[in-house]
Structure 1
Amino acid sequence: MTRRISPFALRITVASLPLLLAACGSVAPKAFTSEEVRSRAAQDVVAMYKDQEPVTAPIDFHEAAARALKYNLDYRLKVMETALSRSLYDASTYEMLPRLVAGAGYSSRNNDSGGTSIGIEDRQVSLRPSTSQERDHSMANLSFSWNALDFGVSYLRAQQKADQVLMADERRRKVIQNVLQDVRNSYWRALGAQKLLGRVDGLLERVNKALERSVEVEKQGLMPQAQILGYQRALLDAVNTLTLRRQDLELARAELRALMSLEPGVNFTLAEQAEVQLPLPPVNMEALERLALEKRPEIMEEWYRKRVTENDIKAAKILLWPNVSFDAGWQYDSNKYNYNSNWVDTGVRVSWNLLKLAQYPALGRAQQAQNETDDMRRLALSMAVLTQVRVGVQRYGLSLQELKFAETSLQVDQRLLKYAQSAAKSHFDSELEVIRTEARALLGEYQRYAAYSNAQAAWGRLYNSVGLDILPDTVQAHDVKTLAQAMKSTTTQWQQTVFQVAK
């Protein structure tokens, strides 16, 4: 005898049909509309320059570095990656907890569940058809389970996540060091541009006028043609050189603006600060090399990566051992035919896949090979670091020599300019000589600024090659002024301690 389907079961079936039909359909690709693209682009522009402290005063070197560090998108990305790694580590620690699962359900059928039994020997039906289960009944359970192998693997995975947090922090340190290096490369060039751009524009205007006058003098035949052509050649060379140098100066300001993430249209002025006296090149290479091997973020990251790969092999080895699991749970069933509607299940189970033990020798060899590979990778990186330190010291020494030569050349050019100005008369050739000498003096001044910025860049590369941090472990606040002061104190301390020891 059959019975009709219960109303509840019928409602569930009808409600599920739209979902089943929708799953059978196809999903077509849907591109973003032009309006959505424009809206996203506008939002990105707002986000890139959001919450920046306004520029209210001339910017010195350390403030430029602080702004670059605080608002640089690459650095902010690394900070977010570090935060993400910490969140993943926090989440992984909960994987070591046992499982505690609560469940509830409802069961319905359109006829009775039951059966009969027959005798084994005579095959005669011994009982009439019967059931011990209601057609509609509800169930609930709360189960606790703990697995030894799952706990061991989860523990090693949590250690890996912890090491990945440290690796992300080392990458963040490297970004900080690179940001300071880039700012050092651009700031002093931009400061020289600020000092020279106006004078370069004025001299270019004078040179162009002198060039026009030389053409008129040539047409009128007031000077020998060979002489006037020589002056024109000198003036054209000066225009070409000054134009190229002017482009370099403008690019320096643009690069510094990009590093500080200043919004286009925001005017800024660099502080007319005295040039920082550069220290002498270090001579104790052993001390610098040892410090670089201890401080470089890339080496530390590679060392943490070795621990991560070691834990991969350890996790594989754990899975070879016997597994012990413990289960306990409370059960409830509303079936009225049950003698007990509530009961507790407990159990202990031990299992061991003996065939997996054959992997143990291979895993041992893999672990040894992995460790040797990681050590060799770290040694190769260390060798590259030592080479960078040595090259950095040599490059810095050469840049100081170049700076000294540029200063000497500038002094000569300035003396020549004074002589030409004092000896100049009303003659056209004297005026051309003054302009040519003035252009040469201005180019000498530019070369001196370029030599100084190159020396600063070489000093920054040496600083970066050692892997020294520019921020202390803790900063009282994260406003631009506090960050700038912290950077200034840290760099001064490193210079007075580490590099003094290396002398």
Structure 2
Amino acid sequence: MYKSQLLKNKRIPSLCLLLLLTGCASQTFSPVSSNEISKVARLDIAQIQEKIEPLSGPLSLNEAIARAMKYNLDRRVKLMEQAIAVDQYDLGNYDLLPKVVANAGYRTRDSDLISKSRDSVTGDLSTSHPYISSDRNVTTYDLTFTWSLLDFGQSYYIAKQNADRVLIAGERRRKAMQNLVQDVSTAFWKAASAQRLKQKVKDAIQNAEDALDDARKVEAERLRPPMEALRYQRQVLENLRLLETIDHELSASKTELAALTGLPLSANFDVVEPERLISDSWLAAPMDKMETIAMANNPDFRESFYGSRIAVEETKKTMLRMFPGLTFTAAAKGTDDSYQIYKQWQEAGIQVSYNLLGLFSLPAQKKMAEDGVTLAEQRRKSVLMATLAQVHIAFLQYQHAFRQYQRADSIWSVDAKIADLFAKQEQVQKQSKMDSIANQTTAILSELRRYQALAVANASASKLRASLGMEPVVLGSADMSIQQLSVEVGKALDVWERGVPESVGGNEAEALILKEGVK
């Protein structure tokens, strides 16, 4: 009976292992159903729109930027990336603390722990009866304090690197904000052109359709020579194709703006153009001053500095491996084993360890760390030159785009006057309807090109502002209403409108990263 029970007990680990392997082998593919995807998608849309303030009136450029800052999903992703970097930094700080480990365990056996002894001189086994030295069922517990000097040094430099990674995440967030402001500005002016031209395009298309019907009737009734009638239709059709192309370009503009600002994609809203369409205060800015501003504020260049610091800390971490590990331990332990005379006791110790074989790889590790510092410094220099080149190119593009806007504005003004004169002459039957439609189409196209040039000019200004690191900075934006945030965005943009600042200092980028970064 005892043997059968022993064999049965020996089978228990094998059965447990078999059950574990069977459970692992039973895993199958579990694709997500279409209904589940649709349900989750609807919930996501509801959650996205839940906290968005509704639009109470026409959308201004300042409010569009404010809504993008508060509700744009891509920007929220950047915020979460920075929040994760902050969490990693906070978590890394705990590695600086000593380790205090609490253990508790229970041990049972199916037979007593019986031992014999052997004579150290003769080698004969003891003739006395074997001794039992432990209970079959034993509970143990201990609280152990451990502190390693080498681990503390490694954790210290890792914490410093994590702090720089938080700042890098902030600079990348600034970069995302700059790109977002550019996109919002471009989409806003597209929406403004659509609002201004939509009805004009529809009226022109209707007039062209009427003229085409008249031309086909004239051809059918042979009131004009066939070639003249066909040429007339050809010109009207060409104008129609151009107008329909314009209508297609304008149709998606408000949807693009709604997607950037967190508004419902099907929302029907109006935009209100700012009093000042484009700033000319930077056209004659001194290049040396702009280079100085960019070197102090450009997020790409600032990120390269933090990358260099991380590389230096990596070298220090490598140098720590040259030192032996020194570990201090202290523990309080206990057991309920009745064979133990002292059931509670304390232990303390100190241990020195050193990986002797690590000496062979240390020169290679040190060289790799030093090469990492050299690479980071070279990358910083490369980013510096790229940043300065970006400032020069953005400034030239801004100047060119501003001149192109002025030219497009002048052309539109002339074409609008010509179209108005032709429309009046058509009313007194001094001009044909086709000529009036052609000039009406030309005026619409000129106005569209004017708005396109205005959008390009504002995008160029935003690109120059981004190159200089002067994006709108609003502290506490997460806690503001849209109306308050719009006012603050307007104040931030006024700094740009005033032109080159007298001093480079006063940049609030670091305050934005450190104070608002995790909101």
Q: Same fold (TM over 0.5)?
A: yes
Three-state SS of the structure 2 residue aligned to 1:133 is coil
Deviations 1:238-279 (A, max 9, x none): 212221122222222221121112223322111254343421
Q: Counterpart of 1:191?
A: 192
| Structure 2 residue 19 is matched with structure 1 residue 21 | yes
Q: Which residue, 358, 365, 368 being the options, matches 2:367?
A: 365
In structure 2, distance between residues paired with 1:428 and 1:213 = 18
In structure 1, distance between residues paired with 2:256 and 2:61 = 14
Q: Counterpart of 2:141?
A: 140
| Superposed displacement of residue 185, structure 1 | 0.8
Q: Counterpart of 1:89?
A: 89
Q: TM-score if structure 1 supplies the norm length?
A: 0.91
| Superposed displacement of residue 110, structure 1 | 2.5
Deviations 1:179-220 (A, max 9, x none): 111011110121111011011101110011112212222343
Distance 1:437 1:35, change over 3 A: closer
Q: Counterpart of 1:205?
A: 206
In structure 2, distance between residues paired with 1:172 and 1:155 = 26
| Structure 2 residue 486 is matched with structure 1 residue 488 | no
Q: Counterpart of 1:157?
A: 158
| Superposed displacement of residue 126, structure 1 | 4.6
| Structure 2 residue 452 is matched with structure 1 residue 443 | no
In structure 2, distance between residues paired with 1:264 and 1:16 = 61
Paired amino acid for 1:477: D
Paired amino acid for 2:87: S
Q: Counterpart of 1:176?
A: 177
Q: Are the equivalent residues in 2 in contact too, given 1:101–1:143 (CA < 8 A)?
A: yes
Paired amino acid for 1:169: G
Q: Counterpart of 1:342?
A: 344
| Superposed displacement of residue 333, structure 1 | 2.0
| Superposed displacement of residue 284, structure 1 | 0.8
Q: Are the equivalent residues in 1 in contact too, given 2:70–2:478 (CA < 8 A)?
A: no
Q: Which runs of 5+ in 1 are unaligned?
A: none
Paired amino acid for 1:218: E
Three-state SS of the structure 2 residue aligned to 1:105 is strand
- The residue correspondences of 1:46-445 to structure 2 (distance < 5 A) are 46-126=46-126, 128=128, 129-224=130-225, 227-280=228-281, 281-424=283-426, 427=429, 430-445=432-447
Deviations 1:265-312 (A, max 9, x none): 322111254343421414311111221122121222222222223333
In structure 2, distance between residues paired with 1:89 and 1:199 = 57
Q: CA RMSD in A?
A: 2.8
Q: Are the equivalent residues in 2 in contact too, given 1:5–1:110 (CA < 8 A)?
A: no
In structure 2, distance between residues paired with 1:294 and 1:111 = 76
Three-state SS of the structure 2 residue aligned to 1:326 is strand
Paired amino acid for 1:441: A
Q: Which region of structure 1 is more displaced relative to structure 2, 359-368 or 156-165?
A: 359-368
Distance 1:15 1:351, change over 3 A: closer
Paired amino acid for 1:133: S
Deviations 1:334-364 (A, max 9, x none): 2222221111111111122233223333233
| Superposed displacement of residue 225, structure 1 | 5.1
| Superposed displacement of residue 422, structure 1 | 3.9
Paired amino acid for 2:425: A
Q: Counterpart of 1:462?
A: 464
Q: Which region of structure 1 is more displaced relative to structure 2, 294-303 or 216-225?
A: 216-225
Distance 1:476 1:40, change over 3 A: closer
Distance 1:86 1:20, change over 3 A: farther
In structure 2, distance between residues paired with 1:337 and 1:483 = 74
In structure 1, distance between residues paired with 2:110 and 2:427 = 120
Distance 1:405 1:20, change over 3 A: same
Q: Which residue, 438, 451, 454 being the options, matches 1:452?
A: 454
In structure 2, distance between residues paired with 1:133 and 1:432 = 111
Distance 1:120 1:431, change over 3 A: closer
Distance 1:111 1:439, change over 3 A: closer
Deviations 1:408-443 (A, max 9, x none): 212222332333234336658533222222222222
Distance 1:262 1:376, change over 3 A: same
Q: Counterpart of 2:511?
A: none
In structure 1, distance between residues paired with 2:32 and 2:403 = 58
Distance 1:197 1:275, change over 3 A: farther
| Amino-acid identity (%) | 30
Deviations 1:298-335 (A, max 9, x none): 22222222222333333232123111111111111222
Q: Are the equivalent residues in 1 in contact too, given 2:318–2:366 (CA < 8 A)?
A: no
Q: TM-score if structure 2 supplies the norm length?
A: 0.88
